[in-house]
Structure 1
């Protein structure tokens, strides 16, 4: 979605390069209170949170995405919001290895790939004591 790239360009100090660099170093985050058993991680610089999405969550997000981006345009024009900035939805694809493990897919696959849908959002508490 090109709207994500534009949102990142407008809100992330350091731009896309900083965003990508942050995502290369993440640690699992044991979030308490959730009922979805979703995977959570935080970037080591604490700027971003990553959450796994099941198929229903991804479909739901894609349905409300146009309204979300419309709201974010208003926010960037000075209207305040309590919503965290959602900065991307990505599918990380893995290919099963002969030993039963997973390795990152390279684009050439001899079998079915397994994917993990991830939502990346700002950490609203970044830089706060």
Structure 2
């Protein structure tokens, strides 16, 4: 089963000294998942100040700089995994730094026939 692990935390939750260490740790986790054939993709995201939000109301498209919702926790990145079940996805998710200082949302992917496959 394929899952997306959405990493939420407040910006600045990791100090400038901690951030490189935590990113390296996350990279090593991704390499471990890859070695097991469970890694599908991952990426950290730029800060919410780089975000653009789109919304369409009454047939009018609005484009706004920044995130749409005002929340303390922001989406900081994602990891895509292919593991047998939710328990295994939880086991993977709890290892990432966001699980210790934020929230990791785990969602199964809805696999839609006809979506082009990404190739290396």
TM range (shorter): 0.3 to 0.5
TM-score, length of structure 2 as denominator length: 0.33
Structure ranking higher in strand proportion: 2
TM-score, length of structure 1 as denominator length: 0.31
Return the structure number with greater relative CO, CA threshold 8 A, min gap 6.
2
